[in-house]
Each structure stands twice: as C-alpha cells, then as structure tokens.
A and B are shown apart, each in its own frame.
Chain A
C-alpha cells in the first residue's frame, strides 16, 4: 500500500483528535449546550453530569479521586496555577517581603511554562534553584536532595521531557518531597495517557496534563490537586464566579471537558497496545538510521525514554536543510532556524550537546496513527537526505580527512 503523504511525526507537539473523542463531544456544542453552573434547569444539569463523568474518567487515568481534578485551559495554565498557587499558599514571608518568601527547585530543561512562572516568582521575593541535568537528561532523586534547603517549599520536575523524551525519577523525587513536607508538582504533559500513572504510589501532589497531547481537543487541560496526606491548598490565580471549588473561576468548556474525559478513557484502553507498538517502531527507526549512517547520535538516555519519542543529531548536516530534504515528513528540529530566535534548542544545550550537533537534530514523535510503512518511508528519506547533504558538506569532508573540527579556530566575532 502506498504511503499517504504528508506523514505526521510530531506527536509531542500535538495529536489529532481521536474519532471516538470527537463523537462524544459533538452533542455538547449544539443540543446539550447548557452551562454546567446553571443549577435550576435540565440544560445545566445535563452539562454538569457530563463534566462529572469526564472528571471521573480523568481521575481514573491517574488513580485519583474525581474531587482532585481541576479543569483548566491546558498545561500552561495548570503549571501556572500549581506553581504560583502553591508558592503563594506556602510562602515563608508575607507578600510585602522583598526576599525570603521561600525556595523553589526546578530544572533547566523544563518547558517554558514551568521556567517562566518560576522566574516571575523570583522577581517577587522567592529564591529558586535550576538544576543542571546530567548528560543523559534524567533528573534523579539525588539531584533534588543536593539542592534542598530548609526553606524549600516547592519542587517542580517534569515527568518526561518534551524534546528528548527522557523520563525523570518522579516517584523517587515525590517520596523525598513527602519525607521533607515539601509540595511536589510534576508537569506530566508528555507522560500521562502514554504511560501508567498512579498519583498515590508515585507520590504526586500536583500534576498537570493537557487534552491535545492525548488525542483530545486543544484548549482544555487539568490539574490534579491532592486532597489528603497531605491536603494541598492553592491560592487561586483567576478570580470570578468561584467555579472548580474556587480554584479556577470561569465557565467550564463543556465540549472540551467531555472530549478530555473521552480521550482519557481511550488512553486507558489503548495504552498498553500503543506503547508496545510504538516502542517497536521507534527502535526500528533508531536502529535503521544508526546502521545506515555514521556519526549519528541519539540524544538523552539510551533506554529511559518515552516509547514514542526520539531525538537524533546527524553530524555535519544542518537541521533546517535536512527538513527541506524530507519535506513530506512533519518533524520538529532543534535547529535555530526553525524558531524565532536563532539559538539552538536550550534543552539540547542543557544536556551538553554542542551547538553544532544541536543545529543538526530532529525530533521524531510517533503516535497512535503512525504505521510501519510511514516509518519505513521516513528511514529511506532521512538517509537519502542526510547523504545528499553530506555530499555537499565541507565538515563531513574534513571529518573523513581526519581533521578534528572542534580544534579548528573558527573566527567568530
């Protein structure tokens, strides 16, 4: 069967809505359009019942209680509410203090939706430690332990990294935080729905995730807030009608929430099957590329990675030109040229991947719709494009002549 082009291999950016999810959502746009906060007629009751069902579906996916789920607009909002809300609730000095309000620990390769809220808190009297990850990208319990201070109030560590897919020691870090009575937040956007999650045994206090990464709609997310042992409290960041038990005011996005719930249920059913299938496809992709090309580097820990994500640096070719050579395949590049800034990926740089290899990296994100034929097409065309570009790469010539490129003094200004 011929492969249908273009091929989508950017599931870490977003995923298509599953047809089962769309079907569940549709009635809530037109016939069941009520406001879940309307307590005095059937339209409102119907919407509220749908939201309650979705809350149960979402809670079941992470082994939480439905009362512990707060609806948001996505992971960015969940992260903001968790970090700023916990920092304000557990502050060591009042709002008026210019310093000493508490210490927060996070990591340099977190998503900007965690880094930027923490940086804002630093301007408001909090201290923060940004842990440098080791070369394999995995943040471990001992890294957090070394950064702890008597005034540490919050630790925020992502479960799996969005660019390289490495998996941090989240249950172990959670256990450490619970021993020390520190609130533990994890941005689990890339993890939940793909991998088994249990907030009880994994020791999570606050967990963010998003609908559109799990084959649900965009514009809806959730925040898990632990209710017992310990009961976690937050200061609301958005004021209004007191929805979501005062944690997050604003009329609920009922169709989006219904879709989120349905997406969670689909993930429960399909997770094991998807995971095994995608891991086999990813290994096929990595092994084929590594065997057909020299000077290829798979970034991050060799095995402790999400099954559907791989980030590969191709020595001596530049990422954007490589993407031009595989124009029928949608992937993401760590190259500077693909974003507004000309900086190569801060995540790859954070791992100590040189600028030169960071410029040459591609992220492949496999998903539920990915087929074996698509991966075979990808392997063939990536290899072809890399060879085409190496034929015209002066750096590859120097490499073959045995010249150490890192020893050349490139006249930089």
Chain B
C-alpha cells in the first residue's frame, strides 16, 4: 500500500476511494470461486467434500470454505462464502485460488503471512488472514475425518464451527 492508513481506520480516503490495495478491491468486486457444492445437509453426505466454517457473526467475520478432493488427494476445486469486511472476502477468495491443484498437505501449508503479503493487508486486518488459514485447516480436517484418513489434529476433529479469538472480546 502506498499510503499508510491510520491505525484502526482502514479506509482513509484516496480521492473518493478507500485505501484498500488494488488486489483487495479486485477480489471484493470480482471474487473468485464464490459458492458451495450444495446445501449444508447435502455436502455432509458427499465424501469428496471437506467443509470448514470459522468465525462468529458477533465478531463480524464468518468464513465458509469447501474443498473438493479427488482420489489422488489433490484439491481439484474450492469454493467459499464469507460474511465479513473486504479484507476477509479477499483472503478467502485468494485462498481458494491458491488451494486449487494443491495436495492436502500443500494446502495446509499455506500461511496467513503469505496472504497478508500478497494482499498488502494493514495490521488491523491480519486477523482476516488468520481466519482464512484456520478455514483451510478446518476444511482439510473435515475431509480427512469423513474419509477415515489420519484423524487430523485434535483441535479440528470434533468442532463443527471453528473460531479464532473474537477481537470484540479481546479489546
């Protein structure tokens, strides 16, 4: 970002435009891979789909990430739906782009800092990238559990809805 936004105020006016990076704006206006592979109950039955839902409405962010995995263990498609700010939408959109064609292990290796760097997120928006990383892990874990593969890490095994510490409460 060529102009540093004031702390906690991510949309300093740039002409009439808020100071999001061009990449965030592009993902917001034309997000990649919006959608799902069926309703909540339908995807539950599909063994090739892994679902991760993280965040909470009270915190202003909920991310739903679905991955479609082929028999070789490669993520051949990914879709998202996100309730949240422009940065949260951009993080989920970018995550789906990056996940396609990756193996499960490669997918889980995506780090939030890489999303931050690619989208030039300001410090107040780092939690959006953490949420996206959590969504990836939750989706992969859900897929593994459905298919009786290694149990995945315990944190994600049982919870249907994952969450990172809510910033509303943290302050």
Which B residue sits closest to A356, measured CB to CB? B57
Give the CA-CA distance A337 to B88 in the complex, in Å. 12
> Given A324, A356, A394, A401, which contacts B58 in the complex, CB threshold below 8 Å?
A356
Cβ distance B124 to chain A, nearest Cβ, rounded Å:
8
- A337 and B85 form a contact (CB under 8 A): yes
Which A residue sits closest to B66, measured CB to CB? A394
> Given B20, B28, B39, B57, which contacts A405 in the complex, CB threshold below 8 Å?
B57
Give the CA-CA distance A396 to B58 in the complex, in Å. 15
- B81 and A392 form a contact (CB under 8 A): yes
> Given A319, A343, A355, A409, which contacts B57 in the complex, CB threshold below 8 Å?
A355
Note all chain A residues with C-beta closer than 8 A to B84. 318, 321
> Given A320, A401, A411, which contacts B40 in the complex, CB threshold below 8 Å?
A401
A393-B81, A393-B82 known; A410 vs B161 contact (CB < 8 Å): yes
Give the CA-CA distance A352 to B75 in the complex, in Å. 44
Would you call the interface of chain B mostly helix, strand, loop, or mixed? Answer: mixed
Say if the beta carbon of B117 comes within 8 Å of chain A: no
Q: Which of A284-327 contact B (CB under 8 A)?
A: 316-321, 323-325, 327
Chain A: number of interface residues, binned into ranges: 35 or more
Note all chain A residues with C-beta closer than 8 A to B18. 323-324, 327
Say if the beta carbon of A354 comes within 8 Å of chain B: yes
Cβ distance B13 to chain A, nearest Cβ, rounded Å:
9
Say if the beta carbon of B169 comes within 8 Å of chain A: yes
Say if the beta carbon of A261 comes within 8 Å of chain B: no
A316-B83, A318-B84, A411-B162 known; A392 vs B171 contact (CB < 8 Å): no
- B83 and A394 form a contact (CB under 8 A): yes
- A354 and B58 form a contact (CB under 8 A): yes
Say if the beta carbon of A248 comes within 8 Å of chain B: no
- A394 and B81 form a contact (CB under 8 A): yes
Say if the beta carbon of A397 comes within 8 Å of chain B: yes
A395-B57, A410-B57 known; A320 vs B161 contact (CB < 8 Å): no
Q: Which of A318-351 contact B (CB under 8 A)?
A: 318-321, 323-325, 327-328, 335-344
- A397 and B36 form a contact (CB under 8 A): yes
